[in-house]
């Protein structure tokens, strides 16, 4: 990533949007929210898949090879076709439970049914993968809750460094942040 920012992948998971029955609003909501965090945003790669565990896993893996961050939207509830967390767990080698915990805790105050969300986060190599709900309002609330940790997590994982508004400062000097 020498001087060039890796893209951000946005994976929209929706049977209905995939079939063309409605225009997804979750993917654009993620992109708009993230663009506002950069003076010079990295490129975005948007993809759309149906609620199929194998298709979701494959797309997460594919995006994980070219992106430093993959954000999924949709398929995180308890419905019979909500497979995004399972696909993410299959695709990632390391799971990071704090992201899902923080999103549920933050959303709980506004929407008590947020406890039904099963969003997870993990790493594919140096790429951070984060599941978000499909609702645009919930997307903003969840990103607001976890954003400060995202650039630091990517940097610690070896995925590069971002100059992003609202990012938490590293709690450790650079010499302590690298794995031995």
For 59-68, how does the pLDDT look when each residue is reduced to its tens digit (9 = 90+)?
A: 999 999 999 9
Report the relative pairing of strands 127-132 and 121-124 from DSSP bridges: antiparallel
pLDDT at 175: 58
> Where do the domains of the chain lie?
8-177
Q: How confident is the model at residue 1 (pLDDT cuts 50, 70, 90)?
A: very low
Residue 21 has pLDDT above 80, yes or no: yes
Mean pLDDT of 102-110: 92
8 A C-beta contact, residue 27 and residue 48: yes
Residue 180 has pLDDT above 80, yes or no: no
Residue 12 has pLDDT above 50, yes or no: yes
For 41-94, how does the pLDDT look when each residue is reduced to its tens digit (9 = 90+)?
A: 999 999 999 999 999 999 999 999 999 999 999 999 999 999 999 999 999 999
Name the percent of the chain lying above pLDDT 90: 82
Mean pLDDT of 126-150: 96
Q: How confident is the model at residue 160 (pLDDT cuts 50, 70, 90)?
A: confident
Q: How many Å apart are CA 124 and CA 159, to the nearest integer?
A: 10
For 96-105, how does the pLDDT look when each residue is reduced to its tens digit (9 = 90+)?
A: 999 999 999 9
Q: How many Å apart are CA 79 and CA 162, to the nearest integer?
A: 36
Tokens 């508004």 correspond to 165
106: its two tokens: 């933050």
Q: How many Å apart are CA 179 and CA 163, to the nearest integer?
A: 22
8 A C-beta contact, residue 97 and residue 153: no
The mean of the pLDDT values for the chain is 92
The CATH number of 8-177 is which of 3.40.980.10, 3.65.10.10, 3.30.70.1230, 2.40.50.100? 3.40.980.10
pLDDT at 163: 79
| DSSP-assigned letter for residue 25 | S
pLDDT at 176: 59
pLDDT at 109: 82
Tokens 């933050």 correspond to 106
């Amino acid at each position: 990533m020498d001087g060039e920012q890796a893209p951000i992948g946005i994976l929209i998971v929706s049977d209905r949007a995939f079939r063309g029955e409605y225009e997804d609003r979750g993917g654009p909501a993620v992109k708009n929210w993230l663009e506002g965090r950069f003076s010079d945003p990295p490129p975005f790669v948007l993809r759309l898949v149906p609620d199929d565990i194998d298709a979701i896993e494959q797309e997460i893996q594919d995006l994980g090879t070219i992106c430093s961050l993959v954000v999924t939207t949709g398929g995180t509830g308890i419905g019979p076709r909500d497979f995004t967390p399972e696909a993410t767990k299959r695709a990632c080698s390391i799971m990071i439970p704090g992201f899902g915990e923080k999103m549920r805790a933050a959303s709980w105050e506004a929407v008590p049914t947020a406890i039904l969300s099963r969003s997870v986060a993990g790493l594919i190599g140096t790429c951070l993968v984060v599941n978000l709900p499909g609702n645009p309002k919930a997307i903003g609330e969840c990103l607001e809750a976890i954003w400060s940790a995202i650039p630091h997590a990517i940097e610690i994982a070896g995925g590069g460094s971002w100059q992003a508004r609202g990012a938490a400062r590293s709690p450790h000097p650079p010499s302590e942040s690298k794995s031995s």
